[in-house]
A and B are shown apart, each in its own frame.
Chain A
Amino acid sequence: MPEILDQARTRVLENGVGLDEAGILAVLNLPDEHLPAALQLAHEVRMRWCGPEVEVEGIVSLKTGGCPEDCHFCSQSGLFTSPVRSVWLDIPALVEAAKQTAATGATEFCIVAAVRGPDARLMTQMRAGVAAIREAVDIQVAASLGMLTQEQVDELAAMGVHRYNHNLETCRSYFPNVVTTHSWEERWETLRMVRESGMEVCCGGILGLGETVEQRAEFAAQLAELDPHEVPLNFLNPRPGTPLGDRPVVEGKDALRAIAAFRLAMPRTILRYAGGRELTLGDLGTRDGLLGGINAVIVGNYLTTLGRPATDDLQLLTDLKMPVKALSATL
């Protein structure tokens, strides 16, 4: 048993204290033969500090494409030659998407917009959309609308948005290689305001943007410092027309090492499978991650790409004897 896993057993599993950056890096550098032990330990940590429930979420794009920002992985930036066109979802279709999501047993529905931050039109649409969903569907509403002002934070909280997603995407030292139109610190500032408002903080990122293993460890440590309620973990799905469109997908074993490392860095967080797992991990790897620290999934399609059918993921959870978290447990 590698020394780092022995240390993690005491520090993380028994005491509930996440690994520091050096410890995270040691896990990310474990040779393949120790990966099963790392995943097993991460799974035990998840079961001990989070329990067996899996939080299920659906996401939908309220405003797609035409974003003025230049996140190099993103097909929705209006600055690249991506074929994604700008389009808005109307309120009846938004409510229908929330109903479809609730029908899977999901407790979370996240409304996403491709913007730097909300303008008056988007806030108006959000007010109408959140009210219509709350009226018609039994599900918690989350939002991801980019950088916020204090006023917008307060307004979203007042609407009943219970969780706000704003990904740091990658570590602070690598961020300028991925985004030049705004800073990591600006994102951090929105997260600080969200936290203070009482909304739950959802913050994760994408692996495979060209960061080094050291930077992956740096990112996990920075997320641990933020201590978000939820961390969505994406693996790059290289999008045609974007600056990162030719990058290779993350290797499956590296993705699993990262899942274990992120869990050992943040024993209590909701660690969610988000985009890219279909390409990086496939069916078998998806199962391995759920037995290696993951305790939440986005089911169904993503914002501009498609996911596994919700029924496949739900069947997998049944096979693994992992109950879907009920709405009563989240309120």
Chain B
Amino acid sequence: MTKLVRPDAPAGDADVGNRAGTADDAGAVTRWCDRCGESVAAGPHPACAAARVWEPPRWCASCRRRMKVQVVPAGWSAVCVEHGERRG
């Protein structure tokens, strides 16, 4: 199974990007679910986290912008104009 781990995250930290209001490792605050773009203030979205195993993120978890996402056979990259690039 594809394990999506953020390159800058500690080992074992699944890159689901929907922890409520926590600062990620780059210091940006995670306010939005990176799959559905809705708030994670009330807690993470388990269904989105499960779906994210087979999908790259689409929404910036910090600012809720739609990211430019490129999927290639062996990975993906997602770019927010404000918060930069994530890769998986």
> Taking beta carbons and an 8 Å cutoff, which residues of A are in contact with B?
58-61, 64, 83-85, 87, 89, 93, 96-97, 100-101, 104, 237, 240, 278-279, 299-310, 312
Contacts A85-B68, A87-B68 known; A306 to B73 CB distance under 8 Å? no
Contacting pair A60 B54 (CB below 8 A): no
A-B CB contact pairs (8 Å), 20 listed? A59-B73, A64-B70, A84-B58, A85-B67, A85-B68, A87-B68, A89-B72, A93-B70, A97-B73, A100-B72, A278-B54, A299-B73, A301-B74, A305-B54, A305-B55, A305-B71, A306-B54, A306-B55, A306-B56, A306-B76
A60 touches B67 (CB 8 A): no
Identify B54's interface contact among A64, A97, A279, A310, CB under 8 A: A279
Contact of B66 among A85, A96, A100 (CB under 8 A): A85
User: CA A34 – CA B36 in complex, angstroms?
Assistant: 41
Q: A93-B70, A305-B71 given; name 17 further pairs at CB < 8 Å.
A: A60-B72, A64-B70, A85-B69, A87-B69, A93-B72, A100-B72, A237-B54, A279-B54, A299-B73, A300-B73, A301-B72, A301-B73, A301-B75, A304-B69, A305-B54, A306-B71, A308-B2
Interface centre among B37, B68, B72 (most CB of A within 10 A): B72
- The minimal Cβ–Cβ distance linking B28 to chain A, given in whole angstroms, is 19
CB contacts (< 8 Å) of B2 on chain A: these are 306-309
In the complex, what distance in Å separates the CA atom of A60 from the CA atom of B70? Answer: 9
Interface size class of chain B, counting residues whose CB lies under 8 Å from the partner chain: 20 to 34
The reply on B42 being an interface residue by CB < 8 A is no
Interface pairs A-B: 8 shortest CB-CB:
A300-B73, A83-B58, A58-B73, A97-B72, A100-B74, A87-B68, A306-B54, A301-B71
Query: How many whole Å from B2's CB to the nearest CB in chain A?
Result: 5
Answer whether residue B1 sits at the interface, using C-beta atoms and an 8 A cutoff.
yes
Which chain A residue lies CB-closest to B58? Answer: A83
- A84 adjacent to B74 (CB under 8 Å): no
Docked Cα-Cα span, A307 to B75, in Å, equals 10
Q: Is the CB of A310 within 8 A of B74?
A: yes
Do A300 and B74 form a contact, CB below 8 Å, given A85-B67, A308-B2? yes
CB of B40, distance to nearest CB on chain A (Å):
16
User: Contacts A85-B67, A306-B2 given: A60-B55 contact, CB under 8 Å?
Assistant: no
With both beta carbons as reference points, the residue of chain A lying nearest to B79 in the complex is identified as A87
Q: A155 CA to B53 CA in the complex, in Å? A: 39
B57 to chain A, nearest CB (A): 9
Partner of A240, one of B36, B53, B73: B36
